[in-house]
Amino acid sequence: MNSTIVEAVKEAFQEHFGQEPVLFNSPGRINLIGEHTDYNAGFVLPASVGQGIYFAVSPSGSDTGCSLVSLDFDERYDFDLSELKPLSQNSWQNYILGVVAEIQKAGKRVQGFNMVFSGDVPRGSGMSSSAALECGTCYALNTIFSLGFERVDMVKMSQLAEHNYAGVKCGIMDQFASMMGKADQVLLLDCQSLDYQYYPLQLEDYSLLLCNSNVSHNLASSEYNVRREQCESGVAVLQTKYPEIAFLRDASLEQLEEVKGDMDEVVYRRCKYVIEENERVISFTQALSNGDLTGAGNLLKVAQEGMRYEYEVTCPEIDFMADFANSRTDVLGARMMGGGFGGCTLNLIKKGSEDQFVEELSEAYQQKFNMQMTPIQVQLEDGSRKL
């Protein structure tokens, strides 16, 4: 827990509103493996982390008047619950307004509230600051207004908030991890059934290190939706021969090969990546259970190549960092983490070699791109909660 941020949101709340707030936290997440499989109803292996967003919240005393204060953006936004509508794209307010709208659609009554928030999830890092904002808002309002939603209900509403107000047709993984995560455990999630299982993360002599490229290409949101459309196009072709296939998770590589001639070559590569990535998630979970960290690391390397050449969501900076890591003996495997076109690499690295690795990668990255790389150590923590 970041006590400095907790104190900052509490003090800012008292300054703005003259009340004592209730404090909440919702974490960011990492994903060990399984990128772009969630909106294809496949499997993912995320975990919630210590970096998150902290909220100070209380009823405003008004039936419909609300105020939001973002310390990170240094902005205040006042609105009325009876006049909810999305703002311009890329507005931080949409993630909160969308959650309120979904709660109202579910037939529950939210009254006016005040909220101050701030976080230490690096934006654009692929650690899902947006899901943390949505889930934290939903959890806080559920608590202070005694709305009675179960956690899985709040996951679904947070996802719909991103669809309907932020305009990103995301899968459900980010919100599920932020809301449902547990300390020291990863979460194998079936994004079709929402069945899930926790696995202890026992890395023995290794640790997880994120390296933030500090690159956030504008392509990310638009290309994300393009990839989703390409996958849906592939499913439509598969259904001409196999009508029972509803999502790519239902298809095998053999079935894909049978219809390859009827499919655009780019769409074929997208589908191939997703089908193989689903298999990698299951194999990675088995490797963790068996203590086979070398096998797990090799799967990270293969996943990186798939994202680079088949799904084409990496970028030169990310490829450079992953190649650098995957050429070393102290790293079992590395890959891009997140939606793509920037963000972080996830590195499975030998304990004790992190400092030297960071120093050497930082120097090489600076020379190549004239940019700083930022290392991020992660610990696995609990999901959305009241402090």
Q: Quick one: tokens of 341?
A: 């076109």
Asked whether residue 35 carries a pLDDT value surpassing 90, the answer given is yes
Per-residue model confidence as pLDDT tens digits over 40-66: 999 999 999 999 999 999 999 999 999
H or E element, residue 26:
strand 22-31
Is the same domain home to 61 and 181?
yes
Cβ atoms 104, 164 nearer than 8 A: no
The confidence score (pLDDT) of residue 312 equals: 95
Tokens of 266: 């780019």
Asked whether residue 383 is domain-assigned, the answer is: no
Say whether both 276 and 360 belong to one domain.
Answer: yes
Distance of CA 315 to the CA centre of its chain: 18
| 81: in domain | yes
Q: What is the CATH number of the domain that holds 288?
A: 3.30.70.890
Same domain, 182 and 224: no
Find the mean pLDDT for residues 304-332: 96
Q: Are residues 32 and 156 in the same domain?
A: yes
Q: Please give the model's pTM, rounded to 2 decimal places.
A: 0.89
Query: What pLDDT, on the 0 to 100 scale, is given for residue 166?
Result: 85
223 against 154, higher pLDDT = 154
Q: Are strands 113-119 and 65-70 parallel, antiparallel or unpaired?
A: parallel
Question: Which amino acid is present at 262?
Answer: D
Last residue of one domain, picked from the residues 158, 183, 201: 201
Question: Which pLDDT band holds residue 171 (cuts at 50, 70, 90)?
Answer: confident
Digit-coded pLDDT (tens) for 355-371: 999 999 999 999 999 99
Q: Residue 21's domain is classified under what CATH number?
A: 3.30.230.10
Does any domain span residue 83? Answer: yes
Question: Cα-flanking dihedrals φ and ψ of residue 2, to 5°?
Answer: -95, 95
Out of 201, 231, 249, pick the residue that ends a domain: 201
Structural domains in the chain (count)? 2
Same domain, 187 and 232: no
232 and 175 assigned to the same domain: no
Tell me the C-alpha distance between 350 and 203, whole Å. 9
- Active-site position among 174, 184, 195, 262: 174
pLDDT, tens digit (0-9, with 9 covering 90-100), for 197-234: 999 898 989 999 999 999 876 555 678 789 999 999 99
Question: Once rounded to an integer, what is the mean pLDDT over residues 159-164?
Answer: 92
Residues 50 and 186 grouped into a single domain? yes
- Cα angle for residues 27, 187, 222 (degrees, 5° grid): 65
Q: In the listed set 177, 201, 225, which residue is the last one of a domain according to the structure?
A: 201
The verdict on residue 385 lying in a domain is: no
Q: Which residues contact 303 (CB under 8 A, 6 or more apart)?
A: 33, 35, 277, 280, 335
- Which residue range(s) make up the domain with 114? 3-201
**Whole-number percent of the chain with pLDDT over 90:** 85
Statement to judge: residues 214 and 177 lie in one domain = no
Is 382 an active-site residue?
no
Q: What is the pLDDT of residues 69-99, one digit of tens each?
A: 999 999 999 999 999 998 987 789 999 999 9
Q: Tens digit of pLDDT for each residue in 100-130? A: 999 999 999 999 999 999 999 877 667 778 8
122 inside domain: yes
Give the pLDDT score at 167.
82
- Specify burial of residue 140 (Cβ count, 10 A radius: 0-12, 13-18, 19+): buried
